[in-house]
Amino acid sequence: MKKFAIISIVSVFLILVFSCNQENQEQNRLGIIKEIQVLIDDKNFEAARLAAIDTLDPQLRALYYEADEHLGHASHLDVRCNERIEEILYEIVKKVPAKNIRFNRDIYAELHTLYPDNELYKKKFIYYDRKQRGVLKY
């Protein structure tokens, strides 16, 4: 009987400790959400974005995307997806012979579309495009 009473008391104590811990976590989470929302309301979008970046909390992630949208950035997932596409296309184009002009042009066109500021992709696309049209001789 004593063991059962001790186990019951310990169980109740642990339940209280865990419930208090969950309340603290929820209070911290709500505090972070309020902080980010204040930053967005103050139009401090970069700070809001940085405060919410890479969180697993769906509400915080939504605030991250909201701040990102105000800044005009591509969504975080789009950026990661584009980086993966770039990696795959670049690995392919490295293996394509230079004499396969059309295929090289098409891949560099895709890479240039993903990253229009990348000078390498721009130059390679222009080069293969001109070769394809016959402006440059083989």
CB 129 within 8 A of CB 105: yes
What backbone torsions phi and psi does residue 19 show, to the nearest 5 degrees?
Answer: -70, -35
72 or 124, greater pLDDT = 124
* Sign (positive or negative) of CA dihedral 77, 80, 86, 89: negative
**Percentage of the chain with pLDDT > 90?**
9
What mean pLDDT do residues 82-96 have? Answer: 84
132 or 55, greater pLDDT = 132
Most confident range (mean pLDDT) of 4-18, 20-34, 68-82, 85-99 is 85-99
Given this model, what pLDDT does residue 76 score?
52
Q: What is the distance between the terminal CA atoms of the chain, rounded to a whole angstrom?
A: 94
Given this model, what pLDDT does residue 4 score?
56
H helices present in 42-100, as ranges: 45-52, 58-71, 76-95
pLDDT digits (tens, 9 = 90+) for 13-54: 555 445 554 566 677 778 877 888 888 888 887 777 666 664
What backbone torsions phi and psi does residue 82 show, to the nearest 5 degrees?
Answer: -60, -40
The conformation of residue 54, written as its DSSP 8-state character, comes to: T
CA distance 96 to 107: 10
Q: Residue 86 pLDDT more than 80?
A: yes
Q: Which two tokens stand for residue 58?
A: 């769906």
